[in-house]
Amino acid sequence: MNLVFLGPPGAGKGTIAAKAKDALNIVHISTGDLFRSNIKNETELGKVVKEILAKGDLVPDEVTVNMVKARLEEDDLKEKAGYILDGFPRTVAQADALETFSKLDAVINFVLSEEEILKRLSGRRVCKSTGRTYHIIYNPPKVEGRDDETGEELIQRDDDKEEAILNRLQVYQKSTAPLIEYYRQKGLLVDIDASKSPDEVLQSLLKVLK
């Protein structure tokens, strides 16, 4: 089953994808995580995208599409029953490109108010090495400021700081929100209420996929 998780930053796409991938035996591909790992490893791609991510702007379509296409050709995809694309496509041009090399079964639209998005993003903390995410109020770590498994210090992503958050929301409205109608017209869109707890959102996702 090939899925796209669509929705504003902070809607919980990554959190739900990390849970749903096991339940559905599919691969979770987050373009944001792929970019962040390139930045961390100081690859050529990482150098190109570092500033773009820090500001909350979009990486150019061609760069992003090539990265996703290459990722979908990796071996683990052959062993699994499909994929979740989390954070891709984010523009109509990316969606058009995706159609030329893969076929989707459904697009899950995570619906959440702007007020809730701001609350979630400003409280988000991550562990740099494991990528695990927390929220200072909704999903706190066992020990304040430390990753549950490795004990490493949690950080706030550069793009979770206020200025970048506001920019990301504007970018979402302008470039990504049009994909809601794009996929609705293709009969692929499924709306999901993302304001509930992660387990409740997961359960409603699994239910609609049946």
Active site includes 90?
Answer: yes
Q: Tell which residue, 25, 26, 27, 5, has the closest CA to residue 16.
A: 5
Q: Among the options 21, 36, 90, 120, which is catalytic?
A: 90
Active site includes 71?
Answer: no
Give me the least distance between CB of 43 and ligand AMP, in Å please. Answer: 15
Q: Among the options 120, 124, 125, 132, which is catalytic?
A: 124
Using CB atoms, what's the residue nearest to ligand AMP?
A: 32
CB nearer to ligand AMP: pick between 118 and 143: 118
Contacts 24+ apart (CB under 8 A), 79-82: 80/25, 80/26, 80/27, 81/1, 81/24, 81/25, 81/26, 82/1, 82/2, 82/3, 82/24, 82/26, 82/27
CB nearer to ligand AMP: pick between 94 and 189: 94
Which positions touch ligand AMP (CB under 6 A)? 9, 31-32, 35, 52-53, 56-59, 64, 87-90, 94, 159, 168
> What residues act catalytically?
13, 90, 124, 157, 168
